[in-house]
Amino acid sequence: SDLIVGAEAVRNLESAETALAAAVQRRLASGALQKVKVQHTGIVSVLHEQILEGKSKITLSGQFDAKDLSKAPKYGMGLDLKY
């Protein structure tokens, strides 16, 4: 599998706030793509993208607040059909 690790720092010059994030992405031998991103605010995002027959793909994603697990998580699904 291919593994990519990244980090991001964004500075807002007007408010003097800095946002930080770290992410990991890997592509599996099956062609599936997996991503995880953690923001300094405690927001964790995950994604799994699977290639289906042909060039179609399905994507499942989720997001939750690791600092406040009482908040409802967000879920998503995408379907990209190509002929």
Range 43-59 average pLDDT: 94
Range 19-44 average pLDDT: 96
Global confidence as pTM:
0.84
Whether the per-residue pLDDT at 53 is higher than 90: the answer is no
- How many whole angstroms separate alpha carbon 66 and alpha carbon 69? 6
DSSP string, 49-82: EEE-STT-EEEEEEEEETT-TTSPPEEEEEEE--
Question: Which residues share a beta bridge with 20?
Answer: 9
Q: Grade residue 83 by pLDDT with cuts at 50, 70 and 90.
A: confident
Beta carbons of 22 and 30 less than 8 angstroms apart: no
Whether the per-residue pLDDT at 1 is higher than 70: the answer is no
Q: Grade residue 21 by pLDDT with cuts at 50, 70 and 90.
A: very high
